[in-house]
Amino acid sequence: MTREDWSAELSALAVRHGVPGAVLGVIDIGADQAADRCRVAAHGVINTGTGQPVLPETVFQIGSITKPYTATLMAQAIDEGRTALDQPVIEILGPGVALTADPVASSMITIGHLLTHRSGIDGDLFADTGRGDDCLERYVELLARSTQMFRPGSRYSYSNAAWVVAGRVLEILYGRPWRLVLRDKIIEPLGLTHTSTLAEEAILHSAAVGHTGGPGEPRHPVDHWTLPRSIGPAGLINSTAAELLAVAAEHARDGGRLLSPAAAASMRADYGANPPGLQIEGHQGLGWMVGRWQGHEVFGHNGLTVGQSAYVIVVPSLRVAVCLLTNGPGAANLWFELRREVLADRGLTVPPSTLEPTGTEADLAPWLGRYGRVGERIELVRSETGYRALIEEDIDLGDEPETQELELHPVRDGLWAGRSAGQLSWTQFRVGTFTDAELPPTSPPADRRYLYAGSRINHVLS
C-alpha cells in the first residue's frame, strides 16, 4: 500500500525549511485521464502580507517547466510536417534575422539545438520587449548582438533565450502568438481551466506570490510578480499541481491526447549528456531531463521565477508523477526531502548525488580568474583553506545584484562542488578548455578556458 496523504510531512518540512506556501501533488497514472488518481496536499499562505491560505487549487508560476510544454508544441509541429529537428532555424525566421553576433553559427543553429540547450546562444537575457503580441519577435531581434558561447551542437549550456526563439518559430509555423498556440494545442484539448501565461489570467484564481529572505530570516513578498512576457516560451506558464500533473500524465501515456507515441518517445530520446548536478542525472531530451534509476526511466524538470520554485518528476514504469509548487526560499531543500520520501514509498530510491566531494587534493590554479556570461560574473580565487567562487548574479529584472561566496571542494577530473549555507544539494563547477571543434566559428574567445557553473557555461573575461 502507498501513502494516501502527505499533508503532515509537507507542512513539517516546509516549516523546517522556511517555505511560506507549497502544494505537493502525486498522481497515479491510469490508462486514460478518467482513470488518473491525483492527490494534492497544501501548506501555508500565498502571501505573508495578507495571510491568505494556500489552497489545493492555488495557481503557482511553474517557471522553466514551461520548456517541456513548448517542446511538446514543437513535437506536434514536427509530427504535422511543419518543421524538423535538423532544420536550420533561420530558414523559418527569414532572411536578415541573426540569432547571435556570429553569422556562421547563427546559420548552423537547428530546431533540435534550441530544444536541447546546444545552440550556444548566451542564455539568460531577460529583456522586457513589451506586452504586445510582437514581444517574441522583438526579443529575437536583440539576439543579433549576443555572444556565441560555442560551436552549435558541440556542447551543452542551459539557454532561456533559445526557448524564446523556439516560441517565435512556433508563432511563424502556426500564424498565432505562442500563448494562443499553447491554448489551442495543450490547454483546451486537456480541459485545463487554471493554466495560463498572463498575470491577469492568474489573478482570477487563488494565486501565489513569491517571497525573498535568507536562511533564518523572515519571508517577505517580492515587489513584482512575474517574468517579462517576452520570456513566455521559456518560463511563463502558471498552473496548479493537478493541472501540471495532468500534462505529465499524458507524456507517461506515450503522448496520450497530445502526441503520437513516436513524438512522445522523441521527447525523451538521448540528445547528449547533461552536466552533472542537474535535477536528474542522465541525458537531455526535448525539454525533458531524462535519467534511469534502478532500471526505471525517469524524466522531469525544475522551474525558478520571481520568488517561486516548481518541480516535477515522472516515472512511467511505476505509473506515478510527483510535483511540488512553492512560493519562497527553501524550496530546493523541501523538494530534496519530499521527492526522496514520496518515491521511496513507491519502492524507488533517489540515487545519491554525483557531486559529493571526495576530500582529495586538486589544483585549480590554472583556472583562476574571472568568467562570465549574460547575467552572471564568477571569479575563482585562492583562499587560506583552498579555493572559492565569488559569484555576482545580475539578471535584468530590476533587482539589486545578488552576490555569494562559495567554498569549492574537488570531486573529480576538473569537477568541483560548492553549496551555500543551509543548502542540502551541491552546485557543480567544472573547468576545462575548448577544443578547436568546440570554438564558435567566427568569434572564438581569446582565452580557451571555460567554467561551467551549474548548467551554464562561462567564458574568461578580459
Shared domain check, 402 and 300 = no
**Average confidence (pLDDT) per 10 residues, the chain, 462 residues:** 88 97 98 96 98 98 98 98 98 95 97 98 94 97 96 96 98 98 98 97 97 90 94 98 98 97 97 69 92 94 96 98 97 96 96 85 95 95 94 72 90 91 89 97 95 94 88
In a domain, 90, yes or no: yes
Locate 388 and state its grid cell.
Answer: 572559492
Asked if residue 303 and residue 440 are part of one domain, the reply reads: no
Cell numbers found for residue 246: 495532468
- Do 297 and 432 lie in one domain? The reply is no
186-223 burial: b if 16+ Cβ within 10 Å, else e: bbeebebebbbbebeebeeebbbbbbbbeeeeebebbe
* Listed residues 351, 380, 399: the one ending a domain: 351
Separation CA 208–CA 19 (nearest Å) = 12
Beta bridge partners of 24: 41, 324
- Residues designated as active site: 64
Query: Which residues are CB-neighbours of 418 under 8 A, at least 6 positions away?
Result: 389, 406, 407, 408, 409, 426, 427, 429
458 bridge partner residues: 451
Domain identity same for 313 and 423: no
Q: Pull the grid cell for residue 107.
A: 546559420
CB neighbour class for 137 (10 Å; exposed up to 12, middle 13-18, buried from 19): middle
Which of 318, 351, 384 lies at the terminal end of a domain, its last residue? 351
Are residues 330 and 217 part of one domain? yes
What is the number of other CB atoms lying within 10 angstroms of the CB of residue 60?
A: 32
Report the helix count and the strand count for the chain, using DSSP H and E: 13, 19
The parent domain of residue 449 ranges over 365-460
pLDDT of 279 reads: 46
Q: Which of 329, 351, 373 is the last residue of a domain?
A: 351
Number of domains the chain is built from? 2
Element (H or E) spanning 429, and its range?
strand 427-433
- Conformation bin of residue 388: beta by default, left when phi > 0, alpha when psi is -120 to 50: beta
Residue 287 lies in a domain: yes
CA-based nearest residue to 110, from 153, 75, 69: 153
Same domain? 227 vs 129: yes
Answer yes or no: is 356 within a domain. no
Q: Do 223 and 324 fall within a single domain?
A: yes
Residue 378: its pLDDT value, please?
97
Q: How far apart are CA 320 and CA 343, in angstroms?
A: 9
In a domain, 170, yes or no: yes
Task: Say if residue 175 is in the same domain as residue 34.
Answer: yes
**How many of the other CB atoms lie within 10 Å of CB of 308?**
25
Report the CATH number that the domain containing residue 438 is assigned in CATH.
2.40.128
- Nearby residues of 133 by Cβ (< 8 Å), 6 or more positions away: 177
Note whether 210 and 223 are within 8 A (CB): no
218 and 328, same domain (yes or no): yes
214 in helix, strand or coil? Answer: coil
Q: Is residue 40 part of a domain?
A: yes
Q: Is residue 414 part of a domain?
A: yes
Looking at the fold, whether 346 and 412 belong to one and the same domain comes out as: no
- Assess contact for 21 and 5: CB atoms under 8 A: no
Are both 94 and 70 inside the same structural domain? yes
Q: How many CA atoms lie within 13 A of 305 on its CB side?
A: 32
1 in a domain, yes or no? Answer: no
Crossing angle, helix 135-142 and helix 160-174, to 10 degrees?
130
Question: Bridge-partner residues for 429, per DSSP?
Answer: 416, 453
Q: Are residues 315 and 438 in the same domain?
A: no
| CATH assignment of the domain containing 300 | 3.40.710.10
Record the pTM.
Answer: 0.96
- The answer to whether residue 143 sits within a structural domain is yes
